[in-house]
């Protein structure tokens, strides 16, 4: 498992300095009916507005 999770979405409650994610867990899903093949076919469900 990754030690550090980086995130550039500074409008998220879990965003902290140096583009780190402070969430205790991360939930990412495919936003297409098929298996995701590119990053643009995924969504971070961990996002919460500040």
Nearest-5° Cα angle at 47, 41 to 50: 145
pTM: 0.76
Inside any domain, residue 50: no
In the chain, how many domains are there? 1
Residue 14's domain spans which residues? Answer: 1-30+37-45
What confidence tens digit (pLDDT) does each residue in 11-50 have?
999 999 999 999 999 999 998 878 888 888 999 999 999 9
Of 20, 31, 19, 28, residue with least CA distance to 46: 28
Q: What is the pLDDT of residues 30-41, one digit of tens each?
A: 988 788 888 889
7, part of any domain:
yes
């Amino acid at each position: 498992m990754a030690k550090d999770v980086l995130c550039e979405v500074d409008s998220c409650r879990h965003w902290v300095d140096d583009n780190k994610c402070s969430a205790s867990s991360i939930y990412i899903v495919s936003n297409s009916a098929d298996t995701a093949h590119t990053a643009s076919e995924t969504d971070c469900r961990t996002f919460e507005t500040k």
